[in-house]
Structure 1
C-alpha cells in the first residue's frame, strides 16, 4: 500500500486506504475510510473530497469534519474548477484570435517550444490573421496537402459518402472558411441544431416560395412517386415540377388504397385541387393498371390536363416482358443461380473476389433492369469465373463435391447454350438499359431525347442481330 505522504491530493491527509476481500475488489477503484466519521468509500479520492467538503454531489457530507478542514477542501475544489475553466477559456480565445492553426511542424513559432501542441499549431502575428500574399510553390503545395488530409479525416471518421465532395454546398462551405481566414471558431453542436438550422429552414422556404411564384406563369407537372418503406408501407410522394425546379409537396400513406384506382384518382384529384386546376397541365405516375385507370378518370374530369406514364417505369416493364421470353428467361434464371450461390457461401465469395478482383452485381428484387446488368457483370467476368471453377482451390474445397457446386460449375463452363444465351440477351437488352439510364437520370431532363433514344435503341438492337428480323421480331410484341 502506498504511503499517504507520497500522495499530493490534500484529501489523503484525512483518510486512509483500506483493504477489501479479493472477491469484492473492482479494477481501478480505491477503497478509503474517513478519519473523522470512519465511513468507507470506494471509487476514488474525488468522492472523499466531496464527503469532506460537504458538496452533496457524489457522497454524503461528513458530520464530524472540523470546519477548517472542510474549508480547506472546498477551496481546493474551487481552485481546481477555476483552473479547468481558465484552460478552456484560454483555448477558445486562442482559437478566436487565430493562434491555433493546423499545419506542418516547419511552421511552428520560433519563440520556443511551449508544449506538444506547438508541433501542430501555427501562431499568427498581431498584424492580422491573413496568410502571406506570396507563398513559395512547395510551401503552398504542402499546406494544401495538409488541409486535404484534414478534410479527408473528417469524411472517414464520420462515415460521410465521398460523393458529398461534389456537392455545391461543400464547395461553398470551404470558400467561406477560406474567406474568413485563420482562427475560425467552428459552430458547436448546439448552434447547428438551433439558430443555424432555423436560418437554413428560412432560406429553403424562401427558395421554395420563389419557385412556387413561377407556377402560374409556366404551369407545372404533378409527379407521383410510389415506394415501400422499411415497415412495408405503401407511400406516395407528390412533387411539382417546372423548369425552375422540383418542389416536394407531401407524402401520403396509401397502404389501404394503393391497389384501388378510384382511391388513387381521389388522391391525385385532391392534390390538383390544392395546387390549382389551371396550373397543372400534366400528371406523371407509374404505368401500373390502377394508375393508368386513375389517369383516364382524371383526364375525363379535368379536360385541360394530360396523364403521362413514367418513362423509366415503362422501360422497366418492357424489360420485364422481354425477360419472360424463353431464351432470356433461361439466361436470367441461370445467372441468378450463379450469383446467389456465390453470395450465399462466404468461402466461395472470398475465392471469387480473389480471382475476379471485384464483386459480381446482384439482381435486385424490384428493378428488372438490374437482372440484365447482372448478366452483363457475369459476361464481363466470364474468363475469370471459368478460371475459378477449374482452379486447385475449387477442386479441393467441399463445395466442388456437392450438387449445388457441380450445377453452378456446369453453368459457367457451358459454352453451348448458356453463354450464347447471355450474348443474345445482352445484344437485345443493353440498348434499352442505356435508354433507361437516360430517362432515370437526374442531371438533364430526358423528355427531349426520349423519342430519338428509342429510335436509336431499336436500330442498335437490329444491328446487333445482323438486321435479321426473325431474331428480334418477337421482342416487338412485348411492348
Structure 2
C-alpha cells in the first residue's frame, strides 16, 4: 500500500489522468479531429509547458489567437521563407494559378510560386464583380510576376482555356523571356472529357458519332448509381452485398468518368448478386420499370464488355494523368511522356476504325495544343536523352540535336531567353559542345548521362558551359502542371470555413 502510494505521488499519476481527461474533453466538446493529436505542435506545446515553471499560466484566448499571435506567426513564416526567396535568382521559379469558387460563391484566383517541387502561396484574389477577360487575368499575373521579380520567373502555368491562353500570350509579349505553359494535367483531363463527352459541341467536334456509345455507358452507370444511392433500402442492400462504397465523384475531379467506371468494375459481381437476390425481387415493386432496367443492365455481359473496353483504351491517358498530377519538377520529362503516349496510341489503334482511333486523334490533337517551345528546350537539356543506353532503346531513336522540330523550338526559346546576340551565339556554341560531346568526352561524363539525376549531372560536369549550365539547372527545377494551386483550395477551405470560424 505505501509503495503504491509513493509511486503514485512520485509520478503524479492522478494529476496526469486528470490532465488527459481535460484534453480529451476539449477534443470531444469542440468536435476536433483525432488526428490533431499527431500534430507535432500539439505535442511540443504540452511538452514545453511541462518543462517550464509557469505558475498561473492561462492559454491564449479567442482574440489573442486571431490577432496578435496570428500576425506573429505570419512574420515567422516570412522569415522561414526568406531563404527560399533568395534562391529564386539562381534557381528561377514558375508562377502557377488556378480559380475556385468558395462556399459563399465568391470567384477566387490564387497564385503560387513553385521551384524544385516546393510551392509557396503568393496571393488569392477575390474577382467578385469583375469581368474575367484576358486583360484582367493578364494584369493579375503581371502583379504576381512583379512581386517575385520578372527575371526570376521562368514560366507561367495555367490551364489552356481560351481566355487563359490569350492572357498567356499577352504575358509573353510583355516579358519575352517568360513562357506561358498550359497545365499538362488539365490538358489530359480535357482530352478524356472530349472522348467521354455526352454531347457534341464545338470543343469536341473531332469526336465522331461512333463515340456515342461511350456517353451512353456513362449515362447508364450514373443512372444505376443514383437509383441505388438515392433510396435508403436499396443502399442498405448494396452495402449488404458489397463492402466497397459507391463513389460520389464531382465532375471537377480529373478523369471523373474513368474513376467511376473503374469503381463499377470492382463492384460488378456484388451488383449482380444483389439484383438476382430475393430481397431485390421483393423490393423492386416501388419502381418496377427502373428496377428492371438496372437488373437487365447489370446482368448484360455485353454492357460490361463495353466498360472493360472503355477503361482499356483510355488507360494510357489515365495513367499519364495520374503520373503528372504531382508537384515534382518534371518539365524536362513532359515532352518525352507526350511523345511516348502519342506513339503508343498510334501503335495500339493502327488500322482500326471507330472510337479507339478517334480517341487517339483526340489525344494527339490535345498534344499539339499543349506542346510548347519550353517543353522542347527542357527536354533537349536532359543529358539522359544523349546517353547510349537511351539511344539504343529503339532503332529509330536519334540524338535530340538531329530532331528538326526540337531543334527549331529550342532555338526559338534560346533567342527569347538570350536576346543579346553575343550571348545567344555563345549559348548555341555551348549547346553544340554538350550535344556533340565536344568537351564532355570523358568516360565518367558519358556514363553518368544515363545513370544519375540530370540536375546532379549538370552540377558535376557543366562548369565549362556556364550559360547552358545555369539555364539547365533552372529548367530542371520547374513543374509542368498547376496541381499544387488546385490542391491549395482544399487547404484554404479547411482554414477558412463556417464550421471552423464558429468553433
TM-score interval, smaller chain: 0.5 to 0.7
1:431-464 Cα deviation digits (max 9, x unpaired) = 322222222234x34435434544565577678x
CA contact (8 A) 2:313 2:356 kept: yes
1:315 to 174, 179, 188: 188
Are positions 1:341 and 2:218 aligned together? no
- For structure 1, the residue ranges without an aligned partner over 5 or more in a row are 1-104, 124-145
Q: Return the alpha-carbon distance in structure 2 between the equivalents of residues 396 and 216 of structure 1.
A: 71
Structure 1 pair 163–451 and aligned structure 2 pair: CA distance change class (3 A): farther
Question: Higher RCO, 1 or 2 (CA under 8 Å, sep at least 6)?
Answer: 2
Are positions 1:188 and 2:188 aligned together? no
Q: Return the alpha-carbon distance in structure 1 between the equivalents of residues 23 and 151 of structure 2.
A: 49
1:447 to 311, 323, 331: 331
Count of residue correspondences: 343
Which structure: larger Rg? 1
RMSD, aligned α-carbons: 3.9
Structure 1 pair 198–250 and aligned structure 2 pair: CA distance change class (3 A): closer
2:306 to 397, 411, 421: 421
CA contact (8 A) 2:349 2:357 kept: no
Structure 1 pair 122–227 and aligned structure 2 pair: CA distance change class (3 A): closer
- Residue 366 (structure 1) shift: 1.9
Q: Return the alpha-carbon distance in structure 2 between the equivalents of residues 150 and 455 of structure 1.
A: 60
Question: TM-score, with normalisation over the residues of structure 2?
Answer: 0.59
Are positions 1:436 and 2:332 aligned together? no
- For structure 2, the residue ranges without an aligned partner over 5 or more in a row are 198-210, 367-503
CA contact (8 A) 1:224 1:239 kept: yes
Q: Return the alpha-carbon distance in structure 2 between the equivalents of residues 229 and 385 of structure 1.
A: 36
Question: TM-score, with normalisation over the residues of structure 1?
Answer: 0.61
- Residue 181 (structure 1) shift: 5.8
- Residue 379 (structure 1) shift: 0.6
1:199-230 Cα deviation digits (max 9, x unpaired) = 43332121233322222332221111111112
Partner of 1:174: 43
Partner of 1:407: 293
- Residue 256 (structure 1) shift: 4.2
Q: Secondary structure at the match of 2:114?
A: strand
Alignment of 1:242-391 (within 5 A): 242-243=115-116, 245-257=118-130, 259-324=132-197, 325-391=211-277
Partner of 1:225: 98
Higher helix fraction (1 or 2): 2
- Residue 472 (structure 1) shift: 3.1
Structure 1 pair 257–429 and aligned structure 2 pair: CA distance change class (3 A): farther
Q: Return the alpha-carbon distance in structure 1 between the equivalents of residues 213 and 50 of structure 2.
A: 65
Q: Return the alpha-carbon distance in structure 2 between the equivalents of residues 193 and 108 of structure 1.
A: 46
